[in-house]
């Protein structure tokens, strides 16, 4: 009887310790680049054609233009205007996000990121 209780106690302590260790670990990276404000999306209607944006002169050589794009709100398309963003490194290039049509007709958003 005592050995059964001891085994159960050991199992409980082991499981609890595992939970503590797991919860103290580093959080997983986001599913999309941190520079993107749009999480990956999947929609069944094609996005509208991109809007033509007038790109203002850059405020410094340390920034790059991130073009605007359409985002899906869950019920409709909404335009997210382009903006300048500071390069994380002098040689970094912005790779714009884009919507890709899947074979089944769904559209998937691939977020922009630094390359």
Give the whole-angstrom CA distance, residue 79 versus residue 67.
Answer: 11
- For the ranges 3-17, 30-44, 81-95, 100-114, the lowest mean pLDDT is seen at 3-17
Return the domain boundaries, the chain: 33-114
Query: What mean pLDDT, rounded, does the chain reach?
Result: 75
Specify the pTM: 0.60
């Amino acid at each position: 009887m005592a050995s059964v209780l001891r085994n159960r106690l050991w199992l409980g302590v082991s499981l609890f310790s595992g939970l503590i260790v797991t919860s103290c670990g580093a959080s997983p990276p986001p599913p999309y680049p941190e520079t993107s404000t749009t999480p990956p999306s999947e929609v069944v209607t094609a996005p509208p054609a991109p809007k033509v944006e007038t790109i203002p002169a850059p405020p410094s050589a340390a920034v790059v233009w991130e073009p605007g794009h359409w985002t899906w709100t869950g019920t409709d398309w909404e335009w997210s205007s382009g903006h300048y963003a500071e390069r994380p490194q002098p040689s970094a290039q912005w790779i714009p996000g884009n919507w890709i049509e899947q074979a089944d007709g769904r559209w998937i958003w691939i977020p922009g990121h630094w390359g």
